[in-house]
A and B are shown apart, each in its own frame.
Chain A
Amino acid sequence: MSKYLLKPLAVASLLALAHPLAASAQDADAGEKVFRKCKACHMVGEDAKNRVGPELNNLLGRQAGTVPDFKYSKAMEAKGNDGLVWDDDTLSEYLENPKKYVKGTKMSFAGLRKETEIQDVIAYLKTFSEAAGTPAETESKAEEPAKNDEAAAAAEPVQTAAASDGDVLPKDAEVPDHGVFHLGRKALPDEVEAWNIDIRPDGSGLPVGRGTVAQGEVIYTETCAVCHGVFGEGEGRWPVLAGGQGTLEDDRPEKTIGSYWPYLSTVFDYVRRAMPFGNAHSLSDNGVYSVVAYLLYLNDVVTDEEFELSNENFASIKLPNEENFIADNRLEEPAYAAKEEPCMKECKPGPVEITMRARVLDVTPDSEDDSVGAGAIE
C-alpha cells in the first residue's frame, strides 16, 4: 500500500495541469499488483482462458463484448454493438464504476476507487495488447488466476496429481484377494491422503496448522473480498458471509456463517475444497486457518485480532446457531399426518377467488434489486 501513498498527489497535480490520462501517469508494474483484484475472474497472457469474466488479451482497441464463446450480459453486447471500443477513456470510466458505465453489466465488481489504480491496471493490460503499441511480452506466461503468494510459500499443495497414468498400475500383479468380484485395486496411502480432505465437527480430518485473524485479513482482502465484500456483506449477488445475526425469524432472513451455520468445520472444509471460486485449492492449510479465523472475526465470534486458530483449539469453537437445527419431521405436519381420503366435492365454501398473480412476468437479468427471488436456488 505504501507504494500508493504518494501517487494520488502526483495524479492530482497532473489532473490540474494536463490530461489525466497522460502516459506518464501509468505504471504497468504497479498495475500488475492491481490486477490481482481482477484475477479471480479474468486471465491475461498466453493460454489465457475465459473464466468468470472474459480473457483480457488484446483488450485495447477491442470492441466491447466480443470475446468468442464468452456469454456476456445483454447490456455489454448492446454497448459493443453501439460502438463501444476499449481504450484509455472508456476503460477508465468502466473500471471506476462498472455498473454505472454499462448499466446491466454482469461484472460483479464494485470498481477501482483510486484513479492511479485504474491507470496502472490499464498500463498493465496494454502490455498484453498489440493495438496499444507495446507488443505483448512474448515470454510472459499465462497469468494464472489469484495464486496467493504468501499462501503458496507456506504451502504444501492440498491436492496432488489426481489423474495418475493408468499404466503405472501393476496390471500383471496377482489377482486381488479382496471382495466378491475382485475388482479394483488397493488405494495407496498417498492417494487416500490427497483426496481425503473432509473435516468433521469434532475436528477429525483437520491438517496441522495455524493462522491469525490479522493474517487472514490480508488473504481475505486480496482473494475473497472482490466477490464476498470487504466485510463479508457480498458484492452484487455473490454470497454474504457475515452479519445477519438475529434475522432468522425475519421476513428476509440473512443466513451467514455467524447467523446460521451450525459448525465451524464446515467453513474450513468448504473453503479448502472450493474457494476461492475459480481458483480452488490455491490456499495453503495455514492460509485456510487464517482466513477462517478472519471469517470468525467478521462474524463477531472472536473479537481479538491477535486470535490464532489452529488444529489444537479448533474443535473448542462453537458457532452460535448450532442448537437450532432439528431432525426432519415433515411427516408430523397436519397435511401429511392426517393421510385422509382427499375431498372431491365442494371442498371449499364458495366460488374460488384469485388471491395473488405471478409477480415476476419477466426474468430481467441484473435488475437493480437482488432481494426478490435471489438466493432461492441454493
Chain B
Amino acid sequence: MKNEETDNPRRNGEGLENPSRRTLLRGGVAAAGGAALAAGLAARGAGAAISQHADPLITDVQDWNRYPGDGVDARPYGLPSQYEKDVVRRDVPWLTADSKSSVNFTPLHELDGIITPNGLCFERHHGGIAEINPVDHRLMINGLVDNELVFTMEDLKRFPRENRVYFLECAANSGMEWRGSQLNGCQFTHGMVHNVMYTGIRVRDLLNEAGVKPEGKWVLAEGADPSLMTRSIPIEKMMDDCMVAFKMNGEALREEQGYPIRLVVPGWEGNMWIKWLRRFEVGDQPWQQREETSKYTDLLADGQARRFTWEMDVKSVITNPSPQAPITHGKGQTVITGLAWSGRGKIARVDVSLDGGRNWQEARIDGPSLDKSVHRFYFDFDWDGSELLIQSRAMDEQGFIQPSKDELRAARGTNSIYHNNGIQTWYIKQDGSAENVEVSS
C-alpha cells in the first residue's frame, strides 16, 4: 500500500460521473451499467429457489406481451436495446488536451465472445474523425516502384478479396498502469483493444501492381486526416499479411476506424494501422516519423529507448468480474471470463489464479482460435464468498508467457509507456465488488 497516497491529488476528486467510482460507492452490489442492473433485478425478482410469492413478471401479462411494438421501418439501422444504453466507449478526459487528439476505450466488461461490435471499437485520433466521400478518396503508391500509381475505391474493390479476424491493440494500452494500479475498470486499463473481421485486399497485390524495385525495403503508409498520420513498415511485413480493409464485421468501416479504407497490420501495434489510408511510399530506409521517434519508442530505466517495437506481446485480462462488473449474485456458481491475445500467433493456453498468482488452474478457451485474434476464456467455479485476488496468464503458441508487472518493471523501469502486458489482478471483496490492485511476488 506504500505508494497509494504519495502523489495523487485526485483521490478525493469531486467528479461523481465516472462509472467506476459510482460502482465503488454503491459497494458494487447495485451494479454498474444498465445491463448488469437489469440482470440484478431479474435475479432478485426470480428470488432464486426460496421465493414464497409467485413472480408477477410471470403471473401477470406484461405490456410487451400485449401491445405490438415498432414496425419494421422504425429502425432502418438497428441499435442496441434501450436497456443497453450505458454500454458505450468512454474516455479519460484528463489524459489529453483536446478530444480531437485523444482516445476512448472499449467496454470490454460488457462484451462476450471474440468480436467487438463496430460501434464499440475504441477510438484514437490525432486530428479528429476525417469525413471522406469514398468517391473523392485516392490511394497512391510512389517511390521505389516501376510505376507510380493512383487507385480509386472502385479500382481497389476489383482486386481479389480476403476475410481475416485480427485484434488491434494500441501500444499504449495499460500504459497508465506502469507505476502501479491507477484506473478502476478493465475498460480503462485494457480497453484499447478490439477484434474485428476485416474484408479487404492484400497489400502485396497492390505493391506488385506497382512493381517494387529491388532496393525497396520499407513502406511509408500515410493517412488523409489532418495529422497525415505516417508510419514506416518493413516490406517483408507488408508483403506477408498486411491488408487494405474496406469492411469491418461485414459492413463498411466506421468513420472512426478510417472509412473508406484502413491498413491492417496483423499483430503489430495499433498506431501502424493507418486510417483514412491514402498513400504507400516505397523506400530503402525508414523515415523516422514522429510516431516512431517522439512516440511509440519505449524509454528504459537507463535512458536508452527501444525503437520499432512493433509486435504486441502475449497478454490477457479478466473482463468479468472486474471493477465495473462486480459479482451481484452472491456466493455459489460463478463465471470468470476474459480475453487473451498475442501478436505472435494463437493463444495456446490461459491459466487463472484465485489467490494472487500462488496457484493456477487452466481455463477453458471457447470459440474460434485464430491467428493474431483475441481468444475468449472461461473459468467456472463455486465461489465460497471469501475474498479473491483473481488473475489470468496467457501463453501463446510460440511459448511466450505473459509476465508479471514486477518482471516487466525489473527489465524496463516505469517510463516505457508502451507494451505493458503484465498480469492484471482484481481484488474481489466479500460483497462481490472488485478493485484494481497489485500484489506481492
Residues of chain A having any CB pair with chain B under 8 Å:
52, 71, 74, 106, 108, 162-163, 166, 178-181, 183-187, 191-192, 195-202, 227, 236-239, 248-249, 253, 255, 257, 260-263, 265-266, 269-270, 273-274, 277-278, 280, 324-331, 333-336, 339-340, 342-348, 351-378
Contact = CB atoms under 8 A, between A and B. Distances in A.
Contacts of A326: 304-307
Interface in B83-115: 92-103
Given A178-B149, A266-B290, 5 more contacts: A183-B158, A253-B299, A339-B401, A367-B94, A369-B10
A336 B303 contact: no
13 contacts: A74-B17, A178-B211, A183-B156, A184-B210, A192-B148, A336-B400, A345-B360, A348-B356, A352-B440, A354-B439, A358-B436, A361-B184, A364-B13
Contact of B183 (A325, A328, A360): A360
Contacts of B172: 376-378
A178 B437 contact: no
A270 B289 contact: yes
Contact of A237 (B96, B136, B399, B415): B96
Contacts of A185: 149-150
A345 B359 contact: yes
B21 A361 contact: yes
Contacts of A162: 138, 224, 278
Contacts of B209: 178-181, 183-184
A366 B10 CA distance: 11
B408 A335 contact: yes
Contact of A186 (B96, B148, B278): B148
Contacts of B2: 355-356
Nearest to A363: B92
B308 A357 contact: no
B56 to A, nearest CB: 38
A329 B140 CA distance: 34
Given A71-B99, A262-B293, A372-B10, A330 B313 contact: yes
Interface in B276-294: 278-279, 281, 283, 285, 287-290, 293-294
A376 B95 contact: yes
Contact of B407 (A187, A270, A335, A345): A335
Task: State the 4 A-B residue pairs at the shortest beta-carbon distance, nearest first.
Answer: A352-B356, A179-B209, A364-B13, A335-B403
B435 interface: yes
Contacts of B9: 367-369, 372
Of listed B149, B188, B438, residue having the most chain A CB within 10 A = B149
Contacts of B101: 277
B94 A324 contact: no
